[in-house]
Amino acid sequence: MTKTMLLYEGKAKKIWKTDDEDLYISEFKDELTAFNGEKKAVEEGKGALNNKISAQLFEYLEKKGISTHFVKMIDDNHMLHKKAKVIKIEVIVRNIATGSLSRNLGIKDGEVLPFALVEFDYKNDELGDPKLNDQHCLILNLVKDESELDYIRYIARKINVLLKDFYAKLNLTLVDFKLEFGRDVNNNIILIDELSPDNFRLWDSATGEKMDKDRFRQGLGGLKVAYEEVLNRILGSNK
């Protein structure tokens, strides 16, 4: 499969057209950003780790009945996936209060929530990805109707249950994470983007050590080592 034209370059990936009009290639980058791009760095090998972790998780979710854009991992930094029109809603699923939820609502950092909280953010860098409610989504024509929002919430909660169990077996606690969805060529809503520690908060279940991009956000160092440990635990569970 050959890259033919660059369609989009974001903070963490480049998206390329291919010689098959129904397939795209994602190229995972080593760049790191936080706080809406205010903090930036490069971590060599980070992109490859995110690609490998994402591929493992997409394969796992596909086996559990979740429709995704994933086709295969081409090499360390490239993933082949189905063409999809992005739904400009970032879906945030939270199991434990931390980060912006604690800051904005005063919930104690580390407090386990009574149920999985699903939030929507507007996927718009210029506006700083503001919070959305259902009416905002409809006014902005991000979805066709409320039933699509209900479906997205349902799938997000299902993914949360699957990944909480998956990570628990690796002695990792799934704190919160971001998902993105799109429409495939048949207009079906499917899971897209990536499933990596860039978008997931993961804490070591025994020590509470952060194993995700918070290591960069909070200046803790050791980001690549943490990502490598997550991948090694995933690969070890497959043996």
pLDDT in tens, 83-110: 999 999 999 999 999 999 999 999 999 9
Q: Cα(10)–Cα(57) distance, rounded to whole angstroms?
A: 21
Token duo for residue 66: 């979740």
Structural domains in the chain plus CATH codes: 3-82 (3.30.200.20), 85-222 (3.30.470.20)
Residue 147 has pLDDT above 80, yes or no: yes
Q: C-alpha angle with apex 207: 201 to 210, nearest 5 degrees?
A: 25
Per-residue buried b or exposed e for 81-99, using 16+ beta carbons within 10 Å of the residue's own CB? bbbbeebbbbbbbbbbbbb
Is the whole-model pTM more than 0.85? yes
**Range scoring the smallest mean pLDDT among 7-11, 114-118, 139-143:** 7-11
Residue 41 has pLDDT above 80, yes or no: yes
pLDDT in tens, 197-235: 999 999 999 999 999 999 999 999 999 999 999 999 999
How do strand 85-96 and strand 3-9 relate by DSSP bridges?
unpaired
Q: What are the φ/ψ torsions at residue 127 (nearest 5 degrees)? A: -95, 0
What pLDDT score does 239 carry? 63
Average pLDDT over all residues of the chain: 96
Residue 196 has pLDDT above 90, yes or no: yes
pLDDT in tens, 177-191: 999 999 999 999 999
What pLDDT score does 36 carry? 78
- Quick one: average pLDDT of 152-173? 98
